Amino acid sequence: MKISARGHKNQLLISAIIVNYNGKHYVKKCVDSLLASNTRNLEIIVVDNGSSDGSISALEKYREKVNLLKLNENYGPAYARNQGVKVAKGRYIGFLDNDTLVDKDWARTAVKAFEKDEKLGIIQCKLLLNKERNRLDYVGEYLGQNGFLVQKAHAGEIDTKQYDKPVRILAAKSAGMFIRHNVFKKIGGFDEDYFIYVEETDLGWRCWLAGYECRYLPTSIVYHEFGTSTVILGKSKNNYNAKFHGCKNYILTLFKNLSFINLIKILPVHILLWEGLSIYALLKGSFKKFFWINKGIIWNLVNIRDSIKKRSKIQRNRKITDNELHAIVMIKKPFLYFLYKATNKHRVGNAESF
């Protein structure tokens, strides 16, 4: 849906990219909320990951308003988002999960922030739970001292405006985030080896290393459903993704982005914690989780040559030291914090998968 660019050299201002997989009922509502927003100069791109639930036919009624890309199978969110960006014309890219609804001024405040600060590369929207809009879903992530992520707000925490100041964060969550189109291309987009989980963390980290900032912007609001991936994929598939891809991608992210000194300090401890979690799973009678975690560790050994190439490129072009970055985005937590996350039922997602 191309609307006049109003002084932006005939370039669309916002490209909203939604990745959909068997989310027919959710994605229609998401598109409707975009169409009802105050966003001007907007194009909507839906990348369908080989859905089999009738999503394609349900989206056909939007054919004049939505650019629909149809993939022949589920390649995962990282690959699908990259495909969406390849056809995007917007100066800024807005990523949304298919189970989100946007506030009417979702994009307007983000554009203002971008245009005030050319070093701002990524924006994290304020994510609220759709069914309980006085409760928080997500407001950005930080790095723990052992390489695991620390979420600033607890999922489900009551929103009392305690997180209503813009702050710098490590990375954003693609359920509701923006990135400059040129920055996305400069840093190489999402790493398609990730398939799912932690791919946004890696993107945000590389954004920082390239000389840009990631920031949480509380005035850009997105409403998010909770637990839809479990409904769509099933509990078993979700557990597999969290343990195998979560472990694999955490290790890969640290390997690629940490400086050499911090790589030596942090990565061995990080891997030992994953091994501890796998042994805990085995003692609890879950051989599958034990196997999935160790499969994730072994994947990194098998693919070490490719990972070294990626790391070399990132480190060669870095614009900020680890000490400078960690002073901004690292939050040290006691070991019991991570132990609790690992051994208790918790949300499975980018910041909470351990």
190, pLDDT greater than 90:
yes
pLDDT classification of 155: cutoffs 50, 70, 90: confident
pTM value is 0.91
Q: For residues 285-289, give the mean pLDDT.
A: 95
Residue 257: per-residue pLDDT: 98
Tell me the three state secondary structure of residue 346: coil
| pLDDT tens digits, 113-136 | 999 999 999 999 999 999 999 999
Cβ(255)–Cβ(268) below 8 Å: no
pLDDT in tens, 210-269: 999 999 999 999 999 975 554 444 455 778 999 999 999 999 999 999 999 999 999 999
Confidence of residue 343 (pLDDT cuts 50, 70, 90): low
44 pLDDT band (50/70/90 cuts)? Answer: very high
Least confident of 4-18, 263-277, 281-295: 4-18
Helix/strand number for the chain, H first, E second: 14, 12
Joined together, the tokens standing for residue 144 give 């723990």
- E strands within 141-298? 141-143, 149-151, 167-168, 176-180, 213-224
Q: What is the pLDDT of residue 40?
A: 82
Q: Give the pairing type, strands 14-20 and 92-97.
A: parallel
Whole-number average pLDDT of the chain? 91
> What are the DSSP calls for 40-63, one per residue?
-SEEEEEEEES--SSHHHHHGGGT
Q: What's the longest Cα–Cα distance across the chain?
A: 63
